[in-house]
Amino acid sequence: MITLGDYLFVSGLLFTIGFAGVLLRRNIIIIFMSLELMLNAANLSLVAFSRFRVDSLGMPDYHAQVFVFFIITVAAAEVAVGLAVIVALYRARRTIHVEDINTLKF
């Protein structure tokens, strides 16, 4: 029997993979993909909670799914803007390694 905890566990594992990607990788595009993984881990736990909270009519709680819809929309806009920033950065610096971009480093 699959419980709510199993879904939360898988979602936490996916978030940890994304978090580790942000911390460990030095390629800015991979870091960006890891951000997407973390956003989707949050979506998975929201949908699991939505299915868990069944109301008196026997329907899932759709407020969480509307929230997931908004998260997906914002994530899509974020990807578009972020990738444009990366392209502008590459034009200026000819690199996408975060270790080579250290002008602001103390």
The contact mask relative to another protein for 52-91 (x = CB under 8 A, - = no) is x-x--xxxx-xx-xx-xxx-xxxxxxxxxx-xxxxxx-x-
Tokens of 13: 């594992």
Widest pairwise Cα distance in the chain: 59
Distance CA 83, CA 97 (A): 14
Distance CA 45, CA 88 (A): 35
- Which of residues 89 and 104 has its CB atom nearest to another protein in the complex? 89
Per CB under 8 A, which of residues 18..37 are in contact with another protein? 18-21, 23-27, 29-30, 32-34, 36-37
The least CB distance from residue 38 to another protein, in Å, is 10
Distance CA 3, CA 44 (A): 14
Is 93 among the residues that bind another protein (CB under 8 A)?
A: no
Per CB under 8 A, which of residues 36..55 are in contact with another protein? 36-37, 40, 43-44, 47-48, 50-52, 54
Residue among 2, 92, 102, 105 that touches another protein (CB under 8 A): 2
Q: How far is CA 26 from CA 53, 74, 77, 84, 92, in A?
A: 40, 25, 23, 19, 18
